[in-house]
Amino acid sequence: AGYAGGIPVCGTVQHPDGTVVPRAALTLIDVAGQQIGRGASGEDGRYALATPGRGAYVLIAAAGGHQPQAVSVTVGERPVELDVVLGGAGRLAGTVVTADGTPVRDATVTLTNVHGEVVAATRSGREGGYVITELVAGEYTLAASAPAFRPAALPVTVQAARETRQDIELAGGAVLRGTVRAGGGRPVEDARVTLLDAAGNVVDTMTTGADGTFRFVDLSSGEYTVIAAGYPPVATVLQVAGGGRTERDLQLGHED
């Protein structure tokens, strides 16, 4: 008795290894869920919250990059000393690779939470590795993208206070290139080249440069039709392999 705000609950917020957690947010609620008190731990990890007096309460502690913690506390006649341990942050690490295991360097790696918000973004290193730290445990979506590859995404569950490993595989977008030539083998500039997929949809269209070349990148594997506008137009059906490079020259009919 004798405490202006009733019987206090005080203690230290700390990590599992005993080091303190400064600036942790503390909330005290009663059994009905009503907020009784609120505060923060100091630089020394200490906190103190006043209670109305005897009764059962729940103390909630949270800090960025830590697992939040809820602790039941029963207040009697004297101050309650209650230390709170916040689980450490989780880490997510892995490698961005191609289907054959080749590392993909400088890929953009993004992590989004269940609300679709980006919580972390980084790039893969020379050996394709990435690390994301200070993660609260839970469900996330891991995505990776890199030039000349199709982006990929997959679900990942991050564990508290430990490292979760998750590699992510990027499928190389195939490249199709070639040269449009006239009857005598001369490259044709400004020829219109159109690429159709197996269903007949136009995937892309482009105009050849001065050297008659065309290039389509980031293609899925499958069957395509290439059409070059000439007199008459020429169409070629070809197979494109995932991650491969396909070369195909197109010969335009020549009219004098």
Q: Across the strands, what pairs with 91?
A: 163
- Residue 138: CB atoms within 10 A of its CB come to 15
Paired with 150 in beta bridges are 171
What are the tens digits of pLDDT across the range 233-252? Answer: 778 888 877 666 778 788 87
The pLDDT tens digits for 74-132 are 999 888 999 999 876 788 999 999 877 889 999 999 999 999 999 999 999 999 999 99
For 19-37, the pLDDT digits (tens) are: 899 999 999 999 899 999 9
- Enumerate the β-bridge partners of residue 13: 84
Give 256's pLDDT tier (boundaries 50, 70, 90): very low
What proportion of the chain, given as a percentage, has pLDDT over 70? 95
| pTM of the full structure | 0.51
Q: Is residue 142 part of a domain?
A: yes
Average pLDDT over residues 127-146: 91
- The per-residue pLDDT for 2 is 39
Distance CA 177, CA 62 (A): 56
Please report whether residue 15 resides in a domain: yes
pLDDT for residue 89 = 75
Digit-coded pLDDT (tens) for 1-19: 334 567 899 999 998 778 8
* pLDDT over threshold 90, residue 66: no
CATH classification at residue 43: 2.60.40.10
Average pLDDT over residues 170-195: 88
- Whether 134 and 178 map to the same domain: the answer is no
Specify whether 106 is located in the same domain as 52. Answer: no
Is 1 part of a structural domain of the chain?
no
* 95 and 166 belong to one structural domain: yes
Range of lowest pLDDT (130-139, 168-177, 180-189, 244-253): 244-253
CA 188 to chain centre: 44
Scored b (16 or more CB within 10 A) or e, 100-118 reads eeeebeebbbbbbeeeeee
**Rounded Cα gap, residues 138 and 57, in angstroms:** 27
Task: Give the lowest-confidence range in 52-56, 59-63, 248-252.
Answer: 248-252
Same domain? 184 vs 148: no
**Mean pLDDT, rounded, for 214-238:** 83
Co-location of 66 and 13 in the same domain:
yes
R_g of the chain computed on alpha carbons: 31
- What's the total number of domains in the chain? 3
Mean pLDDT of the 171-196 span: 88
Question: How high is the pLDDT of residue 118?
Answer: 95
Reply yes or no on whether the pLDDT at 161 is more than 80: no
Q: Per the domain annotation, does 107 fall within a domain?
A: yes
> Do 211 and 243 sit in the same domain of this protein?
yes
Domain range holding 224?
Answer: 174-251
